Structure 1
């Protein structure tokens, strides 16, 4: 006789729980929105992360007005030292003890994957503006994370298509031996196979390698038309410098290219060694009036022009705050659902929106590095070759391995 009453009580309890989940508490928890910028402050990725990412986040907060829903926005930061275990440890401390609502930047694909795992575990937001592996929007996607700039699939596809159109059918890959490099190697191989190109060999190097001679020599002796560097930051800079020492350049019988090239890399290497290089980028400070205004503001604060990841960090923080305002709460589930419904257009993201797999779909650009004679002043490094629509650059949703994607 008691079972119906117990069953009714259980049903009422489930219904109440469902109603609570669907109606998140309004307003800002803890009376402050706290955003942590987690990056590389002194290592090989510090030029594309570091203080630049902190300043970009601060600029977004300032441009939003410093408050959201009447509550202050606070930016904190930490150095994960390019170690995934340190990144996850900081993320847990921030989420659990310091009441951080969202973590941004997270340079390094392995560190990004580590932080998104913690964010999913803690049901907090991860704004990945500086991690490139396609796994972030693929099998390792989470409902609490977004990937805000081009992934390895889009970068490999855009770069390969651009270079294939100029000739160069056979490729040799020199890749970093961690998540980024392995994603690049797979995605580039897939793109070349479907486009009439071919990978004739590949080698993987440790992160932070100082001597690239053996890896460059392997590419040179392979006879491949293109030796592609699938790495980033200081690794990419050192690889290109080593290639130059061996006589490999961006022109000639054997050419080099980089799948993830930042304007800070070009600045470090010098136009003499990389003039003519074809590359993909999400952003360039000298594209139009909006990017120039942002670039000049950033330069006054940092003494350098922004990389695409700095612009991405600005954009993701700004749109996160917009989503909180629109949702009327900083509840993670509600904010993420709101973010995925918002049209996005700003200095970084054009014709943009967030897909259900958490990937920001936006226009990308194909550039060529100018010669020293073409450059009129410092940081005047790129000339635009093409605009690539987001729908053409990123992996189709129908091919996504993300468990959040609804399959027809």
Structure 2
């Protein structure tokens, strides 16, 4: 029966009475399915599982618990799944969650290709996407969504500052070793554009398949190029393998600088300070910044026996902000919640005076860090020297350059 036929069958008076009843319902009745369900879609078992994975699920659970376990009087439910770094698996899980399992928001979503698909699925289903892990700027660019948010970093924020710094130090020629999928190619394009904008040159590039056990076929041409800087457009185990082998091949000792724009504390821990020392990159969060970050990190460490990465801290922050927006909106309807997310400032241990722009980008200060020498580290996980704080408005792509259709120009 169509809605019009249904209304005629009820009669005008009954329909009006029902409308009045729903309008007068308390805010708690505006929560769909009597719960707020958040799915953490991540790499639980693959090469990126240390930087998000089970730790992202723990961070999500902590966010729900710290919020009191309920929002608008209804329970907060956290579920998790492993997309196995396979687009078909990730899309299948997301579709099942949205269509059959009443998931209201999807969080984390390691892997840019999967994230872009999830962005479209959540947009079509009028649900919220909270991206902490993917780096592609398309999520807040040409494929932006009114209900999609990018929280921790992106390829622009983590590329521009290190490239600028090294070119100023005289590193004019660059070679790119790039992961051959959406994340890597996006990172490479931004890096190459910035090198050229700064007056540098690109000596060449190679593309490595995802999860390469041996990075020598891609590093040796970079070494042979004599480029002054080698840009590793990789992450996770591909990145740590590349850094280990670069040291074995004498690339760093030979005077070529390694640039690892998307590196996390889990990577440093895996490499050890002896190998990782001196590497500079941009971070969205460091556990040892202040009393607030240390308090969260200690609670996280008690569960995971590892300090949180920026991605895991971002899962906590984005979910907490989402829940605050539901509370403020009086409903979990995605567009109403998304409007509140853009309206409310982000103030927590992760970000101070953060703001969510119309394109879905959460703008916050970023950190330019350098890995300490073993002799400089005073205790476990004491890995970074903070070289500079990059204001959020400088760290992220200006709205004036945005390709997002939601941005008014």
User: Structure 2 matches for 1:8-157, cutoff 5 A?
Assistant: 26=27, 27-157=30-160
Q: CA separation in 2, counterparts of 1:254 and 1:137? A: 34
The correspondence for 2:401, drawn from 384, 388, 399, is: 399
**SS of corresponding position for 2:374:** coil
Question: Taking structure 2 as the reference length, what is the TM-score of the superposition?
Answer: 0.92
Q: CA separation in 1, counterparts of 2:64 and 2:153? A: 23
Retained in 1: the 8 A contact 2:162–2:281?
Answer: yes
User: Structure 2 matches for 1:208-219, cutoff 5 A?
Assistant: 208-219=211-222
- List, as ranges, runs of 4+ consecutive aligned residues in structure 1 with deviation greater than 4 Å: 23-26
**SS of corresponding position for 2:296:** helix
Question: Taking structure 1 as the reference length, what is the TM-score of the superposition?
Answer: 0.92
Aligned length: 386
Q: CA deviation at 1:150?
A: 1.2
Instruction: Show the counterpart of 2:328.
Output: 326
Q: CA deviation at 1:252?
A: 5.2
**SS of corresponding position for 2:376:** coil
> Is 1:247 equivalent to 2:250 in the alignment?
yes
Q: CA deviation at 1:24?
A: 13
Retained in 2: the 8 A contact 1:24–1:331?
Answer: no
Instruction: Show the counterpart of 1:287.
Output: 289
User: Structure 2 matches for 1:146-185, cutoff 5 A?
Assistant: 146-185=149-188
Q: CA separation in 2, counterparts of 1:110 and 1:156? A: 19
Change in 2 beyond 3 A, CA 1:245/1:78: same
Q: CA separation in 1, counterparts of 2:61 and 2:42? A: 15
Deviations 1:254-296 (A, max 9, x none): 1112010010001101111111111100001011111111111
Deviations 1:89-148 (A, max 9, x none): 111100110000000010011111111111112111111111111111111111111011
User: Structure 2 matches for 1:181-196, cutoff 5 A?
Assistant: 181-196=184-199
Over the aligned positions, Cα root-mean-square deviation in angstroms equals 1.6
**SS of corresponding position for 1:229:** strand
Q: CA separation in 2, counterparts of 1:83 and 1:24? A: 46
Q: CA separation in 2, counterparts of 1:133 and 1:232? A: 13
Q: CA deviation at 1:228?
A: 1.2
Q: CA deviation at 1:170?
A: 1.3
User: Structure 2 matches for 1:198-209, cutoff 5 A?
Assistant: 198-209=201-212
Instruction: Show the counterpart of 2:273.
Output: 271
Instruction: Show the counterpart of 1:4.
Output: none
Retained in 2: the 8 A contact 1:48–1:262?
Answer: yes
Q: CA deviation at 1:196?
A: 2.2
Q: CA separation in 1, counterparts of 2:226 and 2:123? A: 45
Q: CA separation in 1, counterparts of 2:268 and 2:305? A: 16
Q: CA separation in 1, counterparts of 2:231 and 2:175? A: 6
